[in-house]
Structure 1
Amino acid sequence: MSTSAIFLCASGFFPLLLIATVLLRSDHLLGGLPKPYNARACQGKNWRGAFPYLSKQDIREFLSIFVEGFAFSHKERLKLNPEDQILQIYRALYPCRGCADALEVETLAKYIKERYGFSLGDVWHEKITLGELFQITQGVHSL
């Protein structure tokens, strides 16, 4: 096969790959949570149970920052649970390791720094949960 034939095959394959990626990610592009998070009922009770001493407003504000960083709909923020691992949510969006992403974690880090005044990188570990990060934001913010 000639070089030009390989190029034509590859150039024809790229648009198909791009379309497939968009279709696979269409829920997210429309602001929806990935599976299995999108099928959940409201998790507000779990947040209040984990953090009874903090206001609903504090919880909603934190979740709003998270969903904004990940470009999810604000309407779905209470489908997230305090036990959800941030990296697992990210991997539900991007199951293919090494694939290009939309810089969700970096955007979240920027918003955390702006709102709570600390670097996400300083507290990050692979299993950090939303609840753990929320607790840290409230401790740092209340200082």
Structure 2
Amino acid sequence: MSNDFADLKGVRVMAVDSDPDSLYLLKVIFEQCGCTDVTTATTAQEALHLLKKSQPHILISELRLADANGYSLVRQIKQQKSIPAIALTASVWQRDRDRAIAAGFCQHLPKPFDYDELISIVVALVGKTA
């Protein structure tokens, strides 16, 4: 992971993925970048519940969740809050990307992903400077 990116100190991240290993990796990455709070959820319902208590600066979600899909999750969240969202997903087809953007995601990043690219996108979306 490159050190060329802005310090993300003070940034609050919510990551949603049915895979605990993916969530752990995202938590480690963002904590190493100095994020103040990295909240994780394994289901859409859990994410919606946690959003009542937290105010993340950015949402990162898989499109394939155990109880719903990331498309409906981001639509529900966007009705309540204005949070930039990244689809970080194994759904890599162009139609998946188009559908993610139409649902309200700002970016679509396929797995496996490049750490530096993810951090760069987060920096751009939360308005940090490099």
TM over 0.5: no
Give the TM-score taking structure 1 as reference length: 0.32
**Greater strand content:** 2
Instruction: Name the larger-Rg structure.
Output: 1
Give the TM-score taking structure 2 as reference length: 0.34
